[in-house]
Amino acid sequence: MWRHIASNAVTFLIVALFLLGGVVLWGRAEYSAQGPLSQAICLQVKPGSNMRRVSRDLEDQGAVSSAAIFRMGADYQEKTSQLKAGSFLVEPGTSMSEIVDLVTRGGASTCGTEVVYRIGVNRVSVQVRELDPATSRFVEKAEFVPGSDEVPAIYPAVKEQADTRFRIALAEGVTSWQVIDSLKAMDVLEGDVAEVPAEGILAPDSYEVRPGDTRADVVARMISAQEARIAEAWAERDADLPIQSPEDLLILASIIEKETGVAEERRQVASVFVNRLNQGMRLQTDPTVIYGITKGEGVLGRGLRRSELRAETPWNTYVIPALPPTPIANPGRASLMAAAQPDATPYIFFVADGTGGHAFAVTLAEHNENVARWRVIEAERGAAAAGNASTGGD
């Protein structure tokens, strides 16, 4: 009898082990398999949370088939203790294994609320926005001018949320003075900047920042990025350019940046200035004259006077027969590369064409025709604006 019982026990143990092995294999497959989520979600992991709470939240939102398997998988990978606070975008079909990696590897939040400090040529603003997981697009919640008295209530609230992301979006063509002046109004940053950096040496880009970061460190990141871009453009420049140094390249790129916002014509604009330099002609570009008046400290806000076009300043390219002594703004990578590798054209003139771009010309006669067309467009727009003003607009 004992022999029979022992035999049955061994059989039962073998079956149990076989079943357990099957369950383990099934669990491992389930852990790595495509998840059941059909629409993206924003998973919020609050500070002090744990893997049990996260697994239940995922199960409630239909992102995982089993909270228990999710926890066991995290334990098996020894990642349970590596849980990070933040807001994480979970895409449809994401596996449990991928979600565990997402919430434990660290880094910035990938969804939730974002505060963007936008430094533009004509405007500085703070934008509070939130990612809609269903569309992967940000929805604006509020926008205001930094330093103003009218701060929306949502801003102080989101500043205190641990998973809020903060970015500085620096536009191409802003001046170094504008950047430093704008950074002073950003209340998530600390400290002062000893002096305004040299013109042109700050890289237009998007910079992730955290509350408590110093303004000096942010500026140092901008300088480092621009120095790398200048070095890259200089290394890849055409051999026959009429410029002698990376500084000359930066100056030319800054002029290109201020002359056109149309990406497709940057290299054409560059070719005009290169052709003029090669022929010993004056560059005759208005943005340099404006910089000589403002020194980059704000926007002129009006048209240039004839007396200003004739005034002898180091930046008046209607008077000086060369590049100005310094850049006139901070150019982006595209303008740097346009200065380094301009198109090969015969153009030596260009003027606005009414579409946001420019009309290019080889001869003065062609240029005068283009100017005449532009004057007509200007007059028509002026008449239309006056008509709208008199009727109160639409």
Same-domain pairing of 93 and 120: no
pLDDT at 374: 82
* pLDDT tens for each residue of 228-269: 999 999 999 999 999 999 999 999 999 999 998 888 899 999
Phi first, then psi, for residue 99 (nearest 5°) are -65, -40
In a domain, 374, yes or no: yes
For residue 98, the domain's CATH number is 3.30.1490.480
pLDDT at 64: 85
**Tokens for 6?**
């022992």
Domain end position, chosen among 230, 261, 284: 230
Give the per-residue pLDDT at 391: 46
Residues whose CB falls within 8 Å of the CB of residue 132, separated by 6 or more in sequence, listed in order: 138, 139
Is the domain of 76 the same as that of 172?
no
Are 288 and 346 in a shared domain?
Answer: yes
Unique residue bearing structure tokens 């051999």: 239
Determine the pLDDT at residue 62: 87
In this structure, is residue 181 part of a structural domain? yes
User: In angstroms, rounded to a whole number, what is the distance separating the alpha carbons of residues 138 and 19?
Assistant: 48
Identify whether residues 261 and 226 lie together within a single domain: no
Burial of 46 (0-12, 13-18, 19+ CB in 10 A): middle
Domain, as residue range, for 214: 113-230
Same domain as 100, residue 129: no
Number of independent structural domains in the chain: 3
For the stretch 126-162, pLDDT in tens is 999 888 887 778 888 889 998 777 888 898 888 888 7
Q: Which residues contact 366 (CB under 8 A, 6 or more apart)?
A: 349
Same domain, 372 and 259: yes
Q: Give the global pTM.
A: 0.78
Is position 326 within any domain? yes
**Looking at the structure, do residues 133 and 81 belong to the same domain, yes or no?**
no
In a domain? residue 390: no
Asked, for residue 174, whether it belongs to a domain, the answer is yes
Residue 354, classified by CB atoms within 10 Å of its CB into exposed (0-12), middle (13-18) or buried (19+), is: middle
pLDDT of residue 386: 61
Confirm if 134 and 39 have CB atoms less than 8 A apart. yes
User: Are 224 and 318 members of one domain?
Assistant: no
- Give pLDDT, residue 173: 95
User: Residue 301: inside a domain, yes or no?
Assistant: yes
Residues across the chain = 394
The β-bridge relationship of strands 113-119 and 165-170 is parallel
pLDDT at 27: 59
Residues in the chain predicted with pLDDT less than 50, given as ranges, are 4, 6, 16-20, 390-394
Q: According to DSSP H, which parts of the chain are helical?
A: 2-32, 51-60, 67-76, 96-104, 154-159, 176-184, 215-235, 246-259, 266-278, 286-294, 306-310, 333-340, 364-391
Question: What residues pair up with 166 in beta bridges, in sequence order?
Answer: 115, 209
pLDDT at 393: 44
**Where does a domain end: 230, 265, 297?**
230
| pLDDT value for 394 | 42
Q: Is residue 392 part of a domain?
A: no
Cα 112 to Cα 130: distance, rounded to the nearest angstrom = 5
* Dihedral sign from CA coordinates of 279, 281, 287, 292: positive
In a domain, 333, yes or no: yes
Would you state the pLDDT for residue 160? 83
End-of-domain residue from the set 70, 104, 138: 104
247-266 in b/e burial notation, b at 16+ Cβ within 10 A? Answer: bbbbbbbbbbbbbbeeeebb
Give me the pLDDT at residue 233, please: 97
pLDDT score, position 250: 98
Could you tell me if 257 and 308 lie in one domain?
yes
Same-domain check for residues 225 and 252: no
Q: Give yes or no: residues 210 and 319 share one domain.
A: no
Reduced to 3 states (helix: H, G, I; strand: E, B; else coil), residue 242 is coil
Residue from 270, 242, 243 nearest 258 by CA: 270
Judgement on whether residues 250 and 346 belong to the same structural domain of the protein: yes
